[in-house]
Amino acid sequence: MELKMNFLQQEDEVDFMPLIPLHEGEETGDEEIVTGSSLPLLPLRNTVLFPGVVIPITVGRDKSIKAINEAYKTDKLVGVLSQRDSNVEDPAIADLVTIGTVAKIVKLIKMPDGGTTAILQGRKRFSLIRIRSEEPFFTAEVNLLDEQVLKNDPSFDAMVASIKDLAGQIIQLSPNIPTEASIILKNIENPSFLIHFVGSNLNCELIEKQQLLEMNDMRLRAEKLLSLLQKELQFVELKNKVTNKTKTELDKQQRDYFLQQQLKSIKEELGGDSNDREIMQMKKKAESKKWTASAKELFQKEIEKLERMHPSTPDYSTVYNHVDLMLELPWEEYTSDNYDLKKAKKVLDKDYYGMTRIKERILEHLAVLKLKGDMKSPILCFVGPPGIGKTSLGKSIASALGRKYVRFSLGGLHDESEIRGHRKTYIGAMPGRILQSLRKVKSSNPVMILDEIDKVGKDFRGDPSSALLEVLDPEQNHSFYDNYLELEYDLSKVLFIATANDLQGIQPALRDRLEIIELTGYAVEEKEKIAQTHLLPKQKEMHGLKESNIKIPTPAMTYLIENYTRESGVRELDRQLAGVMRSLAKDMAVNGKVKQTILQQDITRILGKPKYSNELYKTANLPGVAVGLAWTYVGGDILFIETTLSDGKGELQLTGNLGNVMKESASTALTYLTSNAKKIGLDASHFKQKNIHIHVPEGAVPKDGPSAGITIMTALASAFTGRKVKPYLAMTGEITLRGQVLPVGGIKEKVLAAKRAGLKEIILCAQNEKDVLEINGEFIKGMRFHYVKTMQQVLEKALV
């Protein structure tokens, strides 16, 4: 009785199957084999036969068939030798090894295809003595080799146990070997047969098996087998690790695929796959788009990619979002402009009081559009102090033109990707804010407000103002490239309006692309009109007093403006009016009624005592004190220049947190007075005998600029001559060593600041007369202006 066993060689296609005899290869019938006997030889090219091991072989070569048949008729013994090269079809004696195994033919089986299968059992090792014949098959005299028997040898027994353990581990790690093989292996008691059986089934090179067979020392044979088993175990462990990892990945993929197929079936039952429907809808929507050739090509490429992708893949959402952006952008979709200039003017006048220059510029642009039908939109930049309505003016312009309105705040922006977009390969990538705004308003020609363009950040992360160069250049923005869209987009029809408080904060290259329109602060009269027309109705509605007929007469409103605000715009005025309305709302809630006409005393009661006073400028001035005019980014302001003389060596001391330019103006004024002392009526020696201290109050506020030149010179001249400066007089202008007075900027803001302060006369450079003429005469009524060209003229008009 024999048991079939497939062990270790599950990968190789071999023409035999090892069998385990129950008698464990007991060398029975040895009397039939004697040294010097003549045996037919059977060459094997795929394996090595070991004593005790039973294998089936398929016999196909003519010589081998004749040798098997001849042996089967007699003693059924045949000498089995391995070929040195298994590729040789008709081996000669030289192609065979010299040590093989005597085998007994257990059974011959005729196959249906005419072939013969022989079941051989190895008996004993032999070596060739000499060849007797080569035809019709090989026969040879052989010398039988005895097996060494090791008894009571602990080290050898340990090696045998190790062989069993290693072979058992390999069986456990090999999924194609039945687990019963491990049990059978443990029950083999004959050490020699165990070594032969394991060696026969070992997955190693033929030459290594032949080396095992040729070893006469059983201990060396066991050591060699242990080495081969260790190598095989490492290979099986590595293979098993890779197989398990691959299997885990395949199992997950198969599971996901199965679930996706089920989900697809469910969706089909409910009315079709939503992804397919979405793609079809996208294609249908794309038919109505007025795309360029490159945009159409990119869309087709992306939609084909989307169709090939499964919705669960990571890149699906990236491609989908990109296609969705292309579909939602308003390609060549424009709103119709309102060419009714009278109506547009009416809208602008209704929304804003004053600002004549801006309104004229917008109406001019609209007139050109009406006549020509098409033109590149200008890039306007409104520059002025805070609170005068630069940003909200953009909304009014959009309303007047009949366009969509969108606002884009640039304050604190530090990443140029906010303008140009991120590349869509990045996680969380988005298009730039420009395209996002167009996508939102669904129009390619909106009015886009770029708010606070002078406050764009610049650091190591990028320079957004440089990215704006392309956006705000009429010669380039027709082909604006967004990194996320990966296409050029036409921005030439967008009416960009930038706002800024200070031109110095705008990059020079960017400033060169902007059409600058300077907005000045409001006069008291303008503020009063704005408060009555816009601010008061708004605050009444916000505080639930819309239905009340509350009025603030012009004198009371002017009192509020002059005594509770100091600003170019109207934000603080709006807050003060809100305070008045809150108090009235409380009266209405408590008493059920409210005073309809708010007078000056009511404002004082509600808001408290006045925060600002003009009395400071109306007091009698001492010699050495002059009033100057200054410009700040929040509007005009006035400042005092105080000069004091003391005995000393002619040293000049400057205090009041002054900048370098202002210090140089003081030095220039002193040098001019020193060199022209006789003309002014001074003794030149006084300048060497007196120390001069010039101070500008409000020392915590930094001050700089050349416009205080004539004020400093007048204060010095007043101190040295002892003559007072004319009261209610202010002045502004730059000085030179030649005694010339040069023009300065910010005239409107400075004049309005002087008006707010209650000053009545102003000395200016003659070249600044044109700036004064631009101011509404109603706003400067009662003020007198002196236009000078030289510093001598300044002293003549300023000193009493």
Positions marked active-site: 707, 750
d(CA 264, CA 255): 14
How buried is residue 466: exposed, middle or buried, by Cβ count under 10 Å (0-12/13-18/19+)? middle
b/e sequence 584-619, b meaning 16+ C-beta within 10 Å: bbeebeeeeebeeebebebbbebbeeeeeeeeebee
d(CA 587, CA 593): 7
The DSSP output letter for 622 is: P
Q: How far apart are the first and last CA of the chain?
A: 143
d(CA 422, CA 501): 30
Question: Which residue is it, tokens 């202002």?
Answer: 662
CB proximity list for 384: less than 8 A, separation 6 or greater: 390, 501, 518, 519, 520, 521, 568
Distances (CA, A) of 751 to 136, 279, 354, 521, 771: 133, 66, 17, 10, 10
Pairing verdict, β 2-4 and 19-21: antiparallel
For residue 109, what are the β-bridge partners? 117
Pairing verdict, β 495-500 and 447-451: parallel
Asked if residue 499 lies in contact with residue 569, where contact means CB atoms within 8 angstroms, the answer is no
- Ramachandran angles phi, psi of 562, nearest 5°: -75, -30
Three-state DSSP class for residue 59 = strand
Structure tokens given for 503: 């031109």
d(CA 277, CA 306): 12
Distances (CA, A) of 127 to 37, 57, 378, 449: 12, 22, 106, 103
CB proximity list for 509: less than 8 A, separation 6 or greater: 466, 469
Rg (CA), the chain: 53
d(CA 202, CA 209): 8
Instruction: Tell how far CA 17 is from the center of its chain.
Output: 64
